[in-house]
Amino acid sequence: MDQTAPRHVPPIARKEPKRIEQLGRVRVDEFAWMKDEAWQQVLRDPKVLRAEVREHLEAENAYTKAMLADTVPLQAAIFEEMKGRIKEDDASVPAPDGPWEYYARYELGAQQPIHARRRRGETDREQVLLDEEALAKGKPYFRVGAASHSPDHALYAWAADEQGSEYYAIRVKDLATGEEVGPPIDSAYGDFVFSPDSQWLFWIWRDENARPSKVFRRPARGGDDALVYEEADEGMFLGVGVASDDSHVLIHIGNQETTELRLIPSSDPTAEPLVAEPRRVAVKYSLDHWSDRWVIRTNDDGAVDFKLCVSDAAVPAKATWRDWIMHRPGHYIMGFAAYAGHIVRAERVEALDRLVVTARDGAEHMVAFDEEAYALGLEDGYEYATTTTRFVYQSPTTPRQWFDYDLVTRERTLRKTQEIPSGHDAGRYLARRLHATAPDGETVPITLLMLKDAPRDGSAPVLLYGYGAYGHAMEPAFSIRNLSLVDRGWIWAVAHIRGGSDKGWGWFLDGRKAKKPNSFTDFIACAEHLIAEGYATKGKMAAYGGSAGGMLMGAVANLRPDLWGAVIAAVPFVDVLNTMSDVSLPLTPPEWPEWGNPLEDPAAYDVIAGYSPYDNVSAQAYPPILATGGLSDPRVTYWEPAKWVARLRELHAGEAPILLKINMEAGHGGASGRFDFLKEIALDYAFAIWALEERWRAA
């Protein structure tokens, strides 16, 4: 018997061609049948999934399990390594709020945290507010979204998703009695807020298409829900919040390019919300109240990387805005936090973060660090009348450090360093920042993490990670997961491609809509630069990305399959043309500003059709590919990776395996437990090793 002949036969999906005519263009989808037309019901109850679809997904899972059978010990080893880097009985740094300090902690072996509080200054007595581990017991999936105490410290509310579908149930309990008050709120978005007087709970309803579309107000201790606001544009997301000085309840309305805020004065929480500044397409703004004025962050008037304005008006319409912190190209203002005497803004310059503190008298100073690549972020707190802010510092080699920072004296107090129980010697590792040149001449940053003695002759295996969408930057952060590859001699690389905000908001604008292909060519340019600089070898790199980064994986697999020895596409958004043409799906109308509207815009149709991974699979040899998904995922539906894998198998001209793994009990974020999630990462990493070592040839 030929020992190199595959012993396992992949599932072959039946073909049922569906002809789709759109804007005078025609496409044929042979695997459209994989979409269960009752997908809304499947999100809430996966047991109603159509039998033939379930059978196909289970066959795919069985095939993947069989193909990767010899990696089971490796998966277990990687999992144990990652788990060994987690302090099992870890706890957050307590956040003070009046007479109490609030925190979360884990028991030994627990998958989910306990939320608790203690009297300020005390360390030996605590009150448990929410025990997620107990609530999750016996459930295949359990995840808490928002969880918060009321401003008077008498109530505690939390939103829990028990399916992975992101339909949450909100519950409120009395902290004096421990009993729940009022019936739970069902079909909710995972976002809510108490009014500053603690009398009301503002929450968001998620409709039958899983879109947040209405804001309701309910008495905090239970009662009838009152409609506060209904959004008529199904392309908008909703959020709720409270101003830092507790002066207003805020309703956030927006998508990727346009925002609007509505204000409810805390002195009259049942009042009709007032529009701050009416929405204008492509104008984004956010705001906060700073005791006697509003501070507005906006990209209006051509401020691509944003500026800060102030307004003294009761309702801060655009006509009342005055420029305060001027726009400077390349100095991206990511956001700000307001305290009674200071504003702290977060900026990013050349893919490095910094904090700038501005006092009421206008005096400024900067908080920054000196490593070649690092991440710096503000951490939310509860108190406004304080001179202390908290930030988290980390780098690819440096575990997270939590600092309390005195805004007046500029003193830094280290409150916590991320503990690595199995040990971590930062001196063993090297982090580097490189710059690749894209086809149009732009320079694309690359962050590397490797052992100091790793060879630089192209012999080390490389994993290149990318995302490039929605303006999300890939921060050069510390990861307990990546070390499992680096310690095996791998080089971990992150490509800071366009579509993210790594080099400012213009970096995002240059990687969306008609310019989306820049994300793909940037990623390829990073791979080619690593080869040219001796860090990598063609065909010996693993490419890795998830969600919109999974689209990136599909695109670069189509464009340059020769570069990769493995492609890992986690919950990949690969059926772009069909999804952006399906108005029933939760994210389609809200995401037209990101991708374009192929239902109405022929140019957008043609751009998407030119790169959509599913539509551009061709008869060529592909590298080994692992695609993963979640059955109850409302963001990237399970049928996207399933259809993509089916078409890849049909047209693939090589021998490398194409694998699909669908989590039948989870959604977009994968498994909900902190350890179960690591098992999914361990599978991804084991696949990368298995693929680059070409062990699949004997599978």
Token code pair at residue 690? 């298995």
Q: Indicate whether 116 and 61 sit together in one domain.
A: no
Q: Indicate whether 611 and 536 sit together in one domain.
A: yes
For residue 401, the model assigns a pLDDT of 97
Question: How big is the chain by its Cα radius of gyration, in Å?
Answer: 25
Which has the closest alpha carbon to 526: 486, 554, 563?
563
pLDDT in tens, 179-206: 999 999 999 999 999 999 999 999 999 9
Which has the closest alpha carbon to 110: 92, 82, 127, 86?
86
Under 8 Å between Cβ of 698 and 691: no
Under 8 Å between Cβ of 505 and 305: yes
The total number of residues shown for the chain amounts to: 699
Under 8 Å between Cβ of 370 and 355: no
Beta bridge pairs of residue 143: 161
For residue 662, the model assigns a pLDDT of 96
Under 8 Å between Cβ of 360 and 354: no
| pLDDT range class, residue 1, cuts 50, 70, 90 | very low
For residue 6, the model assigns a pLDDT of 56
Residue 451 in any domain: the answer is yes
Share of residues in the chain with pLDDT > 90 (%): 90
Residue 384 in any domain: the answer is no
> How many whole angstroms separate alpha carbon 142 and alpha carbon 47?
17
Residue 397 in any domain: the answer is no
Residue 104 in any domain: the answer is no
Residue 461 in any domain: the answer is yes
What is the signed CA dihedral for 209, 214, 218, 223, rounded to 10 degrees? -50
What is each CA distance from 476 to 366, 463, 492, in whole angstroms?
Answer: 20, 15, 11
Q: Catalytic annotation on 668? A: yes
Which has the closest alpha carbon to 198: 237, 236, 242?
242
DSSP string, 4-38: TS-S----------EEEEETTEEEEETTGGGS-TT
Q: Does the pLDDT at position 313 exceed 90?
A: yes
What is each CA distance from 310 to 275, 326, 357, 497, in whole angstroms?
Answer: 17, 11, 16, 33
Q: Indicate whether 509 and 442 sit together in one domain.
A: yes
Q: Indicate whether 434 and 559 sit together in one domain.
A: yes
Q: Indicate whether 161 and 257 sit together in one domain.
A: yes
Q: What is the CATH number of the domain that holds 208?
A: 2.130.10.120
| pLDDT range class, residue 670, cuts 50, 70, 90 | low
Among 239, 254, 275, residue at a domain's last position? 275
Q: Does the pLDDT at position 170 exceed 50?
A: yes
Q: Does the pLDDT at position 58 exceed 60?
A: yes
> How many whole angstroms separate alpha carbon 161 and alpha carbon 178?
21
Q: Indicate whether 615 and 548 sit together in one domain.
A: yes
| Structural domain for 519, as ranges | 20-83+423-698
Among 219, 251, 275, residue at a domain's last position? 275
For residue 393, the model assigns a pLDDT of 97
Q: Catalytic annotation on 496? A: no
Q: Pick the catalytic residue: 244, 424, 668, 684? A: 668
Q: Does the pLDDT at position 5 exceed 60?
A: no
For residue 368, the model assigns a pLDDT of 78
Residues 6+ away with beta carbon under 8 Å from 335: 286, 297, 345, 346, 378
| pLDDT range class, residue 637, cuts 50, 70, 90 | very high
pLDDT in tens, 245-255: 999 999 999 99
Q: What is the CATH number of the domain that holds 669?
A: 3.40.50.1820
> How many whole angstroms separate alpha carbon 311 and alpha carbon 318?
9
Share of residues in the chain with pLDDT > 70 (%): 98
Q: Indicate whether 48 and 139 sit together in one domain.
A: no
Q: Indicate whether 203 and 124 sit together in one domain.
A: yes
> How many whole angstroms separate alpha carbon 212 and alpha carbon 233?
11
Residue 632 in any domain: the answer is yes
Residue 284 in any domain: the answer is no
Q: Pick the catalytic residue: 547, 581, 612, 672? A: 547
Q: Determine if residue 596 is left, alpha or beta; phi over 0 gives left, psi from -120 to 50 gives alpha, anything else beta.
A: left
Does the CA dihedral 581-584-586-592 come out positive or negative?
A: positive
Q: Does the pLDDT at position 377 exceed 60?
A: yes
> How many whole angstroms separate alpha carbon 542 and alpha carbon 461?
8
Q: Does the pLDDT at position 2 exceed 60?
A: no
Residue 387 in any domain: the answer is no
Q: Determine if residue 569 is left, alpha or beta; phi over 0 gives left, psi from -120 to 50 gives alpha, anything else beta.
A: beta
pLDDT in tens, 112-142: 999 999 999 898 899 999 999 999 999 989 9
The b/e string for 317-344 (b: 16+ C-beta within 10 A; e otherwise) is ebebbeebbebeeebbbbebbbbebbbb
Q: Indicate whether 48 and 167 sit together in one domain.
A: no
Q: Catalytic annotation on 459? A: no
Token code pair at residue 432? 């580097």
For residue 668, the model assigns a pLDDT of 67
Work out the end-to-end distance of the chain between its first and last CA atoms, rounded to an integer number of angstroms. 14
What is each CA distance from 222 to 171, 173, 215, 583, 617, in whole angstroms?
Answer: 10, 10, 16, 35, 54
The tally of domains found in the chain comes to 2
Q: Does the pLDDT at position 3 exceed 60?
A: no
Q: Indicate whether 443 and 579 sit together in one domain.
A: yes
Among 235, 255, 275, residue at a domain's last position? 275
> How many whole angstroms separate alpha carbon 575 and alpha carbon 213?
25
What are the backbone angles phi and psi of residue 577, rounded to the nearest 5°?
-65, -45
Q: Pick the catalytic residue: 633, 652, 672, 684? A: 633
> How many whole angstroms separate alpha carbon 238 and alpha carbon 630?
24
Relative orientation angle of helices 639-651 and 51-67, to the nearest 10 degrees = 60
Within 10 A of 542 (CB to CB), how many other CB atoms are there? Answer: 26
Residues 6+ away with beta carbon under 8 Å from 329: 304, 305, 504, 506
Q: Indicate whether 58 and 128 sit together in one domain.
A: no
pLDDT in tens, 25-56: 999 999 999 999 999 899 888 899 999 999 99
| pLDDT range class, residue 335, cuts 50, 70, 90 | very high
Rounded to an integer, the average pLDDT of 652-665 is 95
For residue 102, the model assigns a pLDDT of 98
Q: Indicate whether 49 and 161 sit together in one domain.
A: no
Q: Does the pLDDT at position 544 exceed 50?
A: yes
Longest Cα–Cα distance of the chain, Å, equals 83
pLDDT in tens, 551-594: 999 999 999 999 999 999 999 999 999 999 999 988 899 999 99
Please count the CA atoms within 13 angstroms of the CA of 122 that sit on its side-chain side.
13
> How many whole angstroms separate alpha carbon 186 and alpha carbon 198?
21
Beta bridge pairs of residue 26: 21
> How many whole angstroms separate alpha carbon 49 and alpha carbon 31?
16
